[in-house]
Amino acid sequence: MPDDQTDAPVREGSPDSAVDRVADFYGAYIDAVDDGTDDLGDELRAHYLTEDLRRRLAAWEEANHADGVLRAQDVPTHWEVRYHDSGAGHLFTTVTLTWGSGPDAGHTRLAVQSDLSTRLISDIEDA
């Protein structure tokens, strides 16, 4: 029988890593949305997203009647963040969201841009 303490995947991060900050944001944001704690979701947006992106997300959400961070009306069952590229003062990550479970689970990918100087998320688009 496996030892839960030693066989569990290690999760770690650094406040200096823009990739870790994207992962921290998506993990906490999805938890907040899933828990139904709307104020926390708004507070996370204020902490991790640029003001300009928050304005653009509000417009997108009004037009699409969905959550702009997740690009959906539902809450994903799993998320994954991977480094994609960097340049011109930005870091680009790919966020993969899983919808459902098993062989019929769906996936969407988001291209997320962070400003390296502030480590704030400055753009979210369909990948």
Find tokens 């969407």 and name the residue. Answer: 108
Q: What's the pLDDT at 11?
A: 78
- Number of domains within the chain: 1
Flag whether 11 is in a domain: no
Flag whether 6 is in a domain: no
Closest CA to 110 of 8, 29, 14, 43: 29
Q: What's the pLDDT at 1?
A: 47
Query: pLDDT tens digits for the chain (127 residues)?
Result: 455 566 777 778 888 899 999 999 999 999 999 999 879 999 999 999 999 999 999 999 999 999 999 999 999 999 999 999 999 999 999 999 999 999 999 999 999 999 999 999 999 999 9
Flag whether 10 is in a domain: no
Flag whether 42 is in a domain: yes
Flag whether 82 is in a domain: yes
- CATH number assigned to the domain comprising residue 87: 3.10.450.50
Q: What's the pLDDT at 67?
A: 97
How many other C-beta atoms are found inside a 10 Å radius of the C-beta of residue 23? 19
The whole-model pTM stands at 0.90
Flag whether 13 is in a domain: no
Q: Which domain holds residue 34?
A: 18-126
Flag whether 29 is in a domain: yes
Flag whether 9 is in a domain: no
- Sequence-ordered list of residues with C-beta below 8 angstroms from that of 18, at least 6 positions apart, any chain: 91, 93, 114, 116, 119
